[in-house]
Amino acid sequence: MRNDVDRLQLARYSPPMNDNRLSAIALIAASCGMIITMAVHPTGHIRQAQLEGTIRMLIIVHAFALMLAPIQFLGAWGLSRRLAGTVRLEVVGLVFYGMALIAVMSAAVADGLVTPSVFRQIVESANSESAVNTWRMFSRYTFFLNQAYAEVFVAASSAAILAWSVAMWRSGSLSRGLGIYGCILSIATVAVLFSGYLRLDAHGFGAVVLGQAIWFVIAAALLWNETPKLQQSGRNGSDRHESCADVVK
C-alpha cells in the first residue's frame, strides 16, 4: 500500500513541477535572447566599407532570433498550461502568441536572409544604374514587408499577453499584479501602434520587446517558485497517506 501511495504522489506532483520549471527556463532564455538580439541589431546608414560586416551581422542576429522562436513558444505553452481555467483565455493567448511568432519569424527571414542577398546584388550591379535602381526597389519592398510582419507581431503578442493577464486577474493564478501590468502594457502598446506613433525600427521594436520580456521573466520567476510549494504539498499528502497506512497496519 505504501508503494502505491508513493507512485500516486509522483504521478500527481512531479509532471507539473517539471513542466513549470522547464517553461520558466524557456521563457527566461528566449526573453533575454530577444533583448540581446535587439541590442546588437545593426542600425543607421550603411556605408560601402561596412556592408559585408553589416550583412554578416544581419544574418547572425536574425538566425539567432529564429532559433529563439520555438523556445519562446514552448515557454508560452507551459504558461498557458499553468493558467488553464474554465473560460479558456489561456488557449486564446497561446493561439495569438503562435500567430505572433509566425509573423516575427517571417520578419526575421525578410530582414535577415532576404535583405543581405539584395544588398549584395546592389553592389554587384554597380555598373548598371537601372539594375541598381531595380534592386533598391526590391530592398524597399523587403523593408515594408518586414514592417508589416513586425506590426502583426506587436498586435498579436499584445493580444496574447492581454488574454493571459486577464486569466491571471480572474483566477488569481501566479500574480494579479502581473496581470494588471500585462493588461496596461498590452492596451498601451496596441494604442500607440494604431495611433501611428510607434516606429518599428530597432529602437521602437526593441522597446516593445523589452516591455514584454519584463512580463515574461516575472511570469517565469513565478512559475519557478511554485515548484517547492507543489513539492511540499506532495510531501504533506504523502505523510498523511503514510499515517493512514500505519493506522491500517
The pLDDT tens digits for 103-144 are 999 999 998 889 888 888 877 777 677 777 787 788 888 889
Work out the angle at residue 179's Cα, subtended by the Cα atoms of residues 33 and 24, and round it to the nearest 5 degrees.
35
| Residue-level pLDDT at 19 | 79
Count of structural domains within the chain: 1
- Answer whether residue 200 shows pLDDT above 90: no
Using CA atoms, how far residue 78 sits from 5, 148, 242, in Å, is 27, 29, 32
DSSP 20: H
pLDDT tens digits along 47-102:
666 677 888 888 999 999 999 999 999 999 999 988 887 678 899 999 999 999 99
Q: Who has greater pLDDT, 9 or 136?
A: 136
DSSP 111: I
Distance CA 51, CA 56 (A): 9
